[in-house]
């Protein structure tokens, strides 16, 4: 088993949307193609990219992680005889000190995704099946629960336009949707809260008042006072979850919020390692019977690290079903189905071509089936495959 070629590129995924913390006018993504040759001379090319919210990492890839992978030579096979991304991952991380994950975890995550795509292609099975066989006693879910993430702030977008957007998601087969809150620029807390309550109530009306069909996302904007004020105001709606109300690394403040806000909280998309995730579990006051963990394998050193995170969660009494990764990509969808997570995010209208799933698998009642093709399934998503093939 050896890696014979690695190519990388940068593609724009810019758009006029904004959440409460950043706008996406300059957003980019790294894409890579990694070719792996098996012992019997067959080869497969796997693709990887980073999900939205973090920028492309061409420098880190070119200077450290690609040269290390290129220098690695012969790699040991997995016990099942197939390609094993774990030794390649270890080679990539040689001479990296612990802590301070930042953008490094994004660069490694991009390559890790490509290594898993190649591993499943060499085994001639979908990645969800490879993962179920290697790590889940062969048990894969029939389908994945997904929800439509949108409701971004955009210049000139009023409450009616927000409701129209959510209506389109329902028309696409989603029954659960998510909207941004806490992002009205230049407003005081009271004024912003009143406007957001109008926005939330308008969407709830579309959802027949069923709060469990709506999630709201603050993108880490609030301090404790604003998080508690919003929490008190939305507590009665029965929302599916209240996402990233606080800075992702401020664990003790999460614990305080969780003492005062009983309904489900969700966070974790901006924690990039098993150790950061463990600190959240140890110190964040989150509740394994209701809260939702959104660690995104594509941004956090890939699936090799995500397997460690799942193990850590089990040791702390958390089910993998509490995990619903951020990012809306096919990689996390395969992981959700193969390893028994709670579901996956989806972006029906933004972050093209990386958002969305295989062309042939429609969404029904917020559930989706997986295509039965080797690898992650990029070849079954034509707009994304066109970008990856260019490499
Ligand atoms: Mg979010």
What is the per-residue pLDDT for 105?
Answer: 98
Q: How confident is the model at residue 341 (pLDDT cuts 50, 70, 90)?
A: very high
Show the domains of the chain with their CATH numbers. 2-124 (3.30.390.10), 144-389 (3.20.20.120)
CA–CA dist 180, 183 (Å, integer): 7
For 64, the token pair is: 């450290």
What is the per-residue pLDDT for 149?
Answer: 97
* Average pLDDT of the residues in 67-78: 96
Q: How confident is the model at residue 350 (pLDDT cuts 50, 70, 90)?
A: confident
For 373, the token pair is: 């093709």
What is the per-residue pLDDT for 13?
Answer: 86
Q: How far is the CA of 326 from the centre of ligand 1 (A)?
A: 7
Q: Which residues contact 129 (CB under 8 A, 6 or more apart)?
A: 120, 140, 338
Cα 37 to Cα 49, 72, 115, distances in angstroms: 21, 13, 11
User: From the annotation, which residues make up the binding site for Mg(2+)?
Assistant: 217, 243, 269
User: Which residues carry out catalysis?
Assistant: 180, 326
pLDDT at residue 185 tops 80? no
**How much of the chain, in percent, has pLDDT values that exceed 70?**
100
Peptide bond into 353 cis (omega under 30): yes
What is the per-residue pLDDT for 100?
Answer: 87
User: From the annotation, which residues make up the binding site for substrate?
Assistant: 19, 52, 97, 152, 178, 243, 269, 326
Q: How many CB atoms lie within 10 A of CB 354?
A: 24
What is the per-residue pLDDT for 355?
Answer: 83
What is the per-residue pLDDT for 49?
Answer: 96
Q: How far is the CA of 289 from the centre of ligand 1 (A)?
A: 20
Q: How confident is the model at residue 352 (pLDDT cuts 50, 70, 90)?
A: confident
The per-residue pLDDT for range 107-118, each reduced to its tens digit, is 999 999 999 999
CB 46 within 8 A of CB 33: yes
Q: How confident is the model at residue 184 (pLDDT cuts 50, 70, 90)?
A: confident
User: From the annotation, which residues make up the binding site?
Assistant: 19, 52, 97, 152, 178, 217, 243, 269, 326
pLDDT at residue 367 tops 80? yes
Q: How far is the CA of 96 from the centre of ligand 1 (A)?
A: 28
Single pTM value for the model: 0.96
3-state secondary structure of 205: helix
Ion ligand 1: residues, Cβ under 5 Å? 217
């Amino acid at each position: 088993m050896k890696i014979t070629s690695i190519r990388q590129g940068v593609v724009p995924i810019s758009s006029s949307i904004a959440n409460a913390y950043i706008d996406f006018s300059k957003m980019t993504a790294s894409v890579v193609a990694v070719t792996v040759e098996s012992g019997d001379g067959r080869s497969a090319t796997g693709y990887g990219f980073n999900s939205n919210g973090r920028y492309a990492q061409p420098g880190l890839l070119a200077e450290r992680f690609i040269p290390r992978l290129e220098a690695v030579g012969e790699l040991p096979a997995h016990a099942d005889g197939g390609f094993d991304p774990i030794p390649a991952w270890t080679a990539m991380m040689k001479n990296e000190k612990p802590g301070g994950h930042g953008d490094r975890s994004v660069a490694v995550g991009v390559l890790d995704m490509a290594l898993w795509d190649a591993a499943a292609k060499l085994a001639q099975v979908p990645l969800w099946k490879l993962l179920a066989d290697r790590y889940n006693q062969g048990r894969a879910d029939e389908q994945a629960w997904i929800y439509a993430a949108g409701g971004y702030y955009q210049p000139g977008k009023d409450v009616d336009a927000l409701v129209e957007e959510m209506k389109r998601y329902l028309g696409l087969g989603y029954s659960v949707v998510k909207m941004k809150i806490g992002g009205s620029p230049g407003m005081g807390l009271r004024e912003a809260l009143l406007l957001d309550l109008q926005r939330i109530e308008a969407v709830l009306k579309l959802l027949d008042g069923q709060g469990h069909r709506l999630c709201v996302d603050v993108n880490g904007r609030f301090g404790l006072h604003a998080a508690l004020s919003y929490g008190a105001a939305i507590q009665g709606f029965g929302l599916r979850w209240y996402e990233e109300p606080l800075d992702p690394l401020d664990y003790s403040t999460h614990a305080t919020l969780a003492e005062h806000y009983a309904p489900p909280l969700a966070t974790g998309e901006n924690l990039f390692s098993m150790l950061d995730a463990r600190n959240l579990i140890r110190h964040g006051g989150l509740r394994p019977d209701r809260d939702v963990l959104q660690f995104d394998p594509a941004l956090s050193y890939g699936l090799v690290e995500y397997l460690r995170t799942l193990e850590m969660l089990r040791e702390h009494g958390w089910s993998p079903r509490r995990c619903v990764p951020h990012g809306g990509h096919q990689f996390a969808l395969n992981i959700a189905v193969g390893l028994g997570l709670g579901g996956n995010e989806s972006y029906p209208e933004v972050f093209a071509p990386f958002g969305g799933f295989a062309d042939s698998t429609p969404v029904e009642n917020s559930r989706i089936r997986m295509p039965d093709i080797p690898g992650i399934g990029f070849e079954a998503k034509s707009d994304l495959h066109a970008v990856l093939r260019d490499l």
